[in-house]
Amino acid sequence: MLIGVVFESDGYRLLGRFYQADGPGPHPTLVMAHGIAGVELNLDLADVLRDAGWNVLCFHYRGCWGSEGPYRIATLVEDVRAAIGWALAQPTVDPQRLVLLGYSMGGWAAVLTAVQDPRVYALITLSTVSDLRTWMPDDGMLVDWVRFMNGMTVETLREELRAQAERPQPVDVVDQMSPRPLLIIHGTADPVVHHRQSLALHHRAGLNTDLALIDGGDHRYTGRRRVMIQRIQRWLETICRS
């Protein structure tokens, strides 16, 4: 079953999709935080996991794709926490098996959320930005992205990224996830976020961490999506059996 959902974050209505597994549950559940512009939502992964007995929540941060409010990098973590709270309020969700997945800049927000939030049983980062001090997209990317962000310009987005780079980064705090399970996935041919970002994250992570580099995978895993999805599904099956 696929359900359109609306929930609040700091008074703003956020929009999302809830892929509900068959049966009364409770079911293990994945909350997915998309990238900076939200063009790639990885909904094929959501379909596969729902068919395998998982609930999946995909949502849009404030200020993008119809969600209310202004888009801000500084409020991504708050929106992720609100999504987790909505998911845990659903009777079909197993609160002991809630996994958070962050893609690209969503991975940046997901790590910062998970290290603070014990409700997150496990974490997956996918093509993630782990350190804003060493990553700044070019102007062409910024121009493309701000089209989908309410109240954002290239200049303000660049300023926000620089401001957030002054704060502790995922690479600085990821070890606080341990010993909760962590899976880090990245394509070796990613032109948007170099896989060095994930290598650095893995280097700083603690126990119970797995790294999967997808050979030839670009930022969206073009031609490698089945490999990426199968790697995530196998890992989820493993951690939920243990």
Q: pLDDT by residue (tens digit) across 72-127?
A: 999 999 999 999 999 999 999 999 999 999 999 999 999 999 999 999 999 999 99
Task: Quickly name the fold that domain 2-241 has.
Answer: Rossmann fold (3.40.50)
Residue 130, pLDDT score:
98
Distances (CA, A) of 74 to 20, 116, 159, 175, 195: 30, 15, 11, 22, 24
* Rounded average pLDDT over 127-145: 94
What torsion, rounded to 10 degrees, do the Cα atoms 89, 93, 96, 98 define? -90
Residue 199, pLDDT score:
97
47: pLDDT strictly greater than 70 = yes
